[in-house]
Amino acid sequence: MTARFWAGLDIGGSKTLAVLCDERGEVVAEAVRPTPATEGGESILDIAAGLVRSFGVTPAGIGVGAAGVVDPNTGTVLATGDSFTGWAGTAINAGLSARLGVPARAENDVRAFLLGEAAGLRNALGVTLGTGVGGALLVDGRLLRGRGAGEIGHVGAFGDEPCSCGQRGHLEAYASGRSLSRRYAARTGASLTAQEIAAAAEAGDAVAAAVYEEAGRHLGSAVAQAGGLLGLDLAILGGSVVASWPLLEKAVLRALEAQPLLSGTPVRIRLSRLGSRAVALGAVRLVRE
Ligand SMILES: [Zn+2]
């Protein structure tokens, strides 16, 4: 029997990562390039296809986790954040199949993240905290694929902070990297990245610690409510902001303990185990489904 391989792509706003997996799901090759996010969908697909070609073998299929709202049936990008130009409207499945001659299947990147991280599980909530806050739901072994399903970043009425969606008080308005920067600047006048604020908090800056504490409190509350509604007792967290987990942990756990599930136990938290490969590995699972 000829060996079969599967490719997984993570197309993000700054970089595109490709992995090649063997039949057992082990990564046998990996490649990364900057995403030409402002050069339009065809350029983005050219780069993605080039990464797969660089592996030198034809995979049996290509899975894609892509930033933005992606139609799970057709793999067409329906909407994107402001880091992309011309990505909305791109037919990922058809475009990659045409370039590489094998089936391709695309899904939103947070959903792919959860597919990767939750391998072997039947129920889990996935939350990514980066530039924005994304979410995905695995219920009874199935990823919920309705439009907007899992958008935990845009629930909650935590206050008056403006959210990227145009409404106010959502989780993302407190817990995204951008929001941490905005909240810190509002109180201090200083313009720092979320990472720099974390470093300041570790060095004893009380305002920096407070914006993380607030993010953690609202994150815990949103996770507790989502878990309670859907019967999910595990949340898997990923994204750049989670690198500062020690600054979030106490507040998250306190909020979860204050709002336990009906069973009496709080939702458990697990941090990403696959790191930068989570989306690409989830995409491999997607195309093998
Ligand atoms: Zn919102």
Same domain, yes or no, for 76 and 219?
A: no
| Calpha distance 200→112 (Å, rounded) | 33
Which of 131, 153, 121 lies closest to 239, judged by CA?
A: 131
Check which CATH number belongs to the domain holding 237 and give it. 3.30.420.40
Q: Within this chain, do residues 166 and 100 fall inside the same structural domain, yes or no?
A: no
Interval between CA 107 and ligand 1 midpoint (Å): 21
pLDDT of residue 2: 66
- Whether residue 1 lies inside any domain: the answer is no
Q: Any idea what the Cα angle at residue 48 is, between residues 47 and 52, rounded to 5°?
A: 115
Between the CA of 234 and the centroid of ligand 1 the distance, in Å, is 23
The CA 249 to ligand 1 mean position distance, Å, reads 23
CB of 176 closer than 8 Å to CB of 182: no
Examine the domain organization and report whether 37 and 143 are in the same domain.
no
- Burial grade of 219 (CB within 10 A; 0-12, 13-18, 19 or more): buried
Helix (H, G, I), strand (E, B) or coil at 271: strand
Residue 71 and residue 78 in contact, taking contact as beta carbons nearer than 8 Å: yes
| Centre of ligand 1 from the C-alpha of residue 168, in Å | 7
Residue 148 domain flag: yes
CA–centroid distance, residue 165 to ligand 1 (Å): 4
Residues 89 and 132 in one domain: no
User: Would residue 45 count as lying in a domain?
Assistant: yes
What is the whole-number distance in angstroms between the Cα of residue 209 and the centre of ligand 1?
23
Is residue 202, in this structure, part of any structural domain at all?
yes
Q: Are residues 182 and 236 in the same domain?
A: yes
User: What's the CA-to-centroid distance between 178 and ligand 1, angstroms?
Assistant: 13
pLDDT of res. 147? 87
Report how far ligand 1's centroid is from the alpha carbon of 37 (Å). Answer: 23
Q: Is 110 in the same domain as 156? A: no
- Spacing, Cα 235 to ligand 1 middle (Å): 20
**98 and 125 housed in the same domain:** no
Kindly give the distance from the C-alpha atom of residue 271 to the centroid of ligand 1, in angstroms, as a whole number.
Answer: 24
Are 266 and 280 in a shared domain? no
ipTM of the complex: 1.00
Domain count, the chain: 2
Determine, yes or no, domain membership for 194: yes
- Are 61 and 48 contained in the same domain? yes
From first to last of its 289 residues, the chain has per-residue pLDDT tens of 567 999 999 999 899 999 999 999 999 999 999 999 999 999 999 999 999 999 999 999 999 999 999 999 999 999 998 889 999 999 999 999 999 999 999 999 999 999 999 999 999 999 999 989 999 999 999 999 998 899 999 999 999 999 999 999 999 999 999 999 999 999 999 999 999 999 999 999 999 999 999 999 999 999 999 999 999 999 999 999 999 999 999 999 999 999 999 999 999 999 999 999 999 999 999 999 8
The domain in which residue 88 lies consists of 6-114+276-288
